[in-house]
Amino acid sequence: MVQEKLIELIAENVDCDASELNESTEFASLGIDSLDIAELLMTVEDEFGVTVEMDPALKTVGDLVAKIEEGRNA
């Protein structure tokens, strides 16, 4: 559920087809830079009610899904 919703949000933000994204999709390959990630993290907070801090280790969709799930279980 988290992954599917996150993929929808990313697809809307970068104007691509959600079917092209998966957990191993790298943000850099989508042209997402640190400013875009900051905006995405604000959207994540609104959508999932979880605060995810900026982290250079957030490189893929799966990395962010793991952080969201970690925050939900805290």
- Catalytically active residues are 33
Long-range pairs, 7-16, Cβ under 8 A, ≥24: 7/61, 9/40, 9/43, 9/44, 9/47, 10/40, 10/61, 13/39, 13/40, 13/43
Dmax over CA atoms of the chain, in Å, equals 32
